[in-house]
Amino acid sequence: MSVAWEVVIGLEIHAQLATKSKIFSGSPTAYGADPNTQANLVDLGYPGVLPVLNKEVVRMATLFGLAVSATVARRSVFARKNYFYPDLPKGYQISQLELPIVEHGEMHIIGVDGMEKRIGITRAHLEEDAGKSIHEGLDASSGIDLNRAGTPLLEIVSEPDLRSAKDAVTYMKKIHTIVHYLGISDGNMQEGSFRCDANVSVRPMGQKELGTRAELKNLNSFRYIEKAINIEVERQIDLIEDGGTVVQETRLYDSDKDETRSMRSKEEANDYRYFPDPDLLPVEISNEYIEAIRATMPELPDAKQARFIDEYELKSDDAAILTASRMLADFYEGVVKATDATAQVAANWVIGDLGGALNRDGLGISDSKISSDELAGLVDRIHDDTISGKIAKQVFEAMWDGEGSADDVIESKGLKQITDSGAIELVVDKVIADNLGQVAEYKAGKDKLIGFFVGKVMQETKGQANPGQVNQMLRDKLK
C-alpha cells in the first residue's frame, strides 16, 4: 500500500554581506585574491589579537530584518562556537546563538499550486565565515587559504514551512532578490556568496509531528537545491516504505552522481560549547537607529511590482520580470522616463530584444551595451514613425554592436522610414503594374492578397515604407 507523503523543508541561507572589510578585522573581502593575501593577524587568529565589530554588518542585518517584517533585537550577543578545524584559525567561530540580531520575520511566496504562502523566518544572525582547505596541486599535504576567514555572513533561518523543492527554490530566489535589492549581498552563487543548507523530512499526509530530518549541506545553485531536495525526499520515502527509519544526520549532495550521502551522524556531532564571546560587547541598537535605517529602505520587489502594474499598466508577468532585479527595474524606469512611447512598449523592448541580447551574450543588465537613454532613443523613433518596428530591430542590433545611437544608425544606414506619399505611390504603382494577375484575383474578392501587395512594396523599399500608409494606398488604388 502506498501512503501520501508530505514533504517538510526548512532552509538556512548563508548570504555573504557586501562589506568592504571583514566582520571583525580590517582585511578586504574581495573574491579571488591569491591565497592568504587578504588575511591579517586577526584573521589568522594570532596570539593576543582581538576582534572589533564592523558596524556596517549591523546596518545590513537591520535593513534585512526590516525588509522581512522581523523584530530587530535592541540587544544581540556574539557567541563562540568552539570546534577544531584547520580552516578555523581561532578554534572557534564567532556567531550568534541565543540572542540573534533578527527574529520573527516572514516572507510571502507564490507556491507551485499558485497559492500565496507565508514562510516564517525564525531568525537571521551575523557570523564570520571560515577559510578553506586546499588539496589540489599539493602533494600529500593540505593547504589553507584564510582569505575568506572572517568574511561577514548573514545566516537566514526559515521555519519548516516549505512543502516542496520548488517552493524552497522560490523562497530562496526571493531572499536572493531581496538581499540584492537591499544592496547587502552580491548574491553571487558561483563565488559562494549565497548558499544554503536544507533541512528535509517527510511525514504521512495529515500527521502533526515532524519526521526525522536530514540536513543537506552547502547547496550553491538553485538547480542543485531542487535536485538535492527531491532526491533526498525520494530516498527518505523509499527508506521508510521499505521498513527503515530516517536518522538525523548531515548529508552532502553529489551533483555528479545525483545522490545524497551521509557526512556525519548526530552521534558524531560536535558539542560546540557555545558561550558569549567575552572579547565583544553586546550589540545595542536604539529605536532612533532603527528608524534611521528604515528611512533608507529601498522599494522592495513586491511593492515595485505592484506599482509597475498600477502606474505603468503593465501585464503582471512583465512587471514580475522587470522587478526581478533592482537594476533591471531601474533600467526599465530609465527607459520609461526618457521615452514618449507607452510604458508597455518600453517593457516589450527591455524584456524582448534587450533581454534576448543580454541572454545571448551571457551578460547581466549592468553590462548592457545599450543604456536606458539609448534604448529610449530607439523606442522614440518608432513612436514618431521615423522607423518601423521591424527596422528598429535592425537598428537595435547595430546599436548593440557599438555603431552609435539610434539616430546615428538610422542616418548612416539610411533607414529612415519613407512617409512621402509621392515616393510610396511610385512603388505602389510599380507593384500593381508588375502583378496584374494577383490584382485581378484581389478584385475578384480574394481580400487576403492585400498582404502580398504590402509585402512586395516593403520589399521594394527595403522595409522603409510606412506599412500603414502602404496598406491604405493599396486598398484605395485596388478598389
Partner 1 sequence: MDMHRQTLTELCAGLDKGDFTSVELTQTLLDRVAAQDEKLNAFITVTSTEALAAAASADKARAAGNIGALNGLPIVHKDIFCTEGIKTTCGSKMLDNFISPYNATVVQKMADAGAVILGKSNMDEFAMGSSNETSFFGPVRNPWNLECSPGGSSGGSAASVAARLAPAATGTDTGGSIRQPAALTGTVGLKPTYGRVSRYGMIAFASSLDQAGMITRSAEDAARMLGVMAGFDERDSTSIDQAVPDYLAGIGESIKGLRVGVVRQHSDEGLEERTGARAKDAIAVLESMGATTVEVDLPNIDLSVPTYYVVAPAECSSNLSRFDGVRFGHRAENAEDLLDLYCRSRGEGFGDEVKRRIMTGAYVLSAGYYDAYYIKAQQVRQLIADDFKKAFADVDLIAGPTAPSPAFKLGDKVDDPIQMYLNDIYTIGANLAGLPAMSVPCGFVDDMPVGLHLVGPHFGEEMLLRCGHQYQQETDWHMACPEAFK
Binding site for partner 1 (CB under 8 A): 41, 44-53, 80, 82, 84, 86, 89-92, 144, 271, 273-275, 278-281
**Between residues 81 and 213, which has the closer beta carbon with respect to partner 1?**
81
Q: How far is the CB of 142 from partner 1 (least distance, A)?
A: 8
Sheet strands (E) in 212-267 = 214-219, 249-254, 259-265
Residue 471: C-alpha distances to residues 7, 211, 425 (Å): 60, 69, 11
What is the Cα–Cα distance from 133 to 342, expressed in whole angstroms?
A: 55
The burial of 45, by beta-carbon neighbours within 10 Å (0-12 exposed, 13-18 middle, 19 or more buried), is given as: middle
Looking at residue 299, the DSSP 8-state letter turns out to be P
Whether residue 225 contacts residue 169, with contact meaning beta carbons closer than 8 Å, is answered with yes
C-alpha of 289 from chain center: 29
Q: How far is the CB of 86 from partner 1 (least distance, A)?
A: 5
3-state secondary structure of 415: coil
Virtual torsion, Cα 417, 420, 421, 424, nearest 10 deg:
-50
Whether residue 251 contacts residue 262, with contact meaning beta carbons closer than 8 Å, is answered with yes
Residue 58: C-alpha distances to residues 152, 179, 272, 283, 326 (Å): 10, 14, 24, 8, 22
**Between residues 80 and 213, which has the closer beta carbon with respect to partner 1?**
80
Residue 328 corresponds to which cell in the numbers above? 533591471
**DSSP alpha helix (H) spans, 101-184:** 165-182
C-alpha of 231 from chain center: 24
Q: How far is the CB of 283 from partner 1 (least distance, A)?
A: 11
**Between residues 274 and 452, which has the closer beta carbon with respect to partner 1?**
274
Q: How far is the CB of 251 from partner 1 (least distance, A)?
A: 22
What is the Cα–Cα distance from 479 to 202, expressed in whole angstroms?
A: 73
Taking residue 391's Cβ as centre, other Cβ atoms within 10 Å add up to: 21
**Between residues 248 and 419, which has the closer beta carbon with respect to partner 1?**
248
The burial of 111, by beta-carbon neighbours within 10 Å (0-12 exposed, 13-18 middle, 19 or more buried), is given as: middle
Q: How far is the CB of 117 from partner 1 (least distance, A)?
A: 35
Q: How far is the CB of 130 from partner 1 (least distance, A)?
A: 13
Residue 443 corresponds to which cell in the numbers above? 478584385
Q: How far is the CB of 262 from partner 1 (least distance, A)?
A: 20
What is the Cα–Cα distance from 343 to 318, expressed in whole angstroms?
A: 11
Q: How far is the CB of 237 from partner 1 (least distance, A)?
A: 32
**Which residues, other chains included, contact 120 with Cβ-Cβ below 8 Å and sequence gap of 6+?**
104, 105, 106, 158, 159, 161
Q: Which residue has the cell 592568504?
A: 36
Q: How far is the CB of 77 from partner 1 (least distance, A)?
A: 12
Q: How far is the CB of 108 from partner 1 (least distance, A)?
A: 36
**Which residues, other chains included, contact 170 with Cβ-Cβ below 8 Å and sequence gap of 6+?**
109, 110, 111, 112
Residue 31 corresponds to which cell in the numbers above? 573574491
Q: How far is the CB of 272 from partner 1 (least distance, A)?
A: 8
**Between residues 31 and 274, which has the closer beta carbon with respect to partner 1?**
274
**Between residues 272 and 452, which has the closer beta carbon with respect to partner 1?**
272
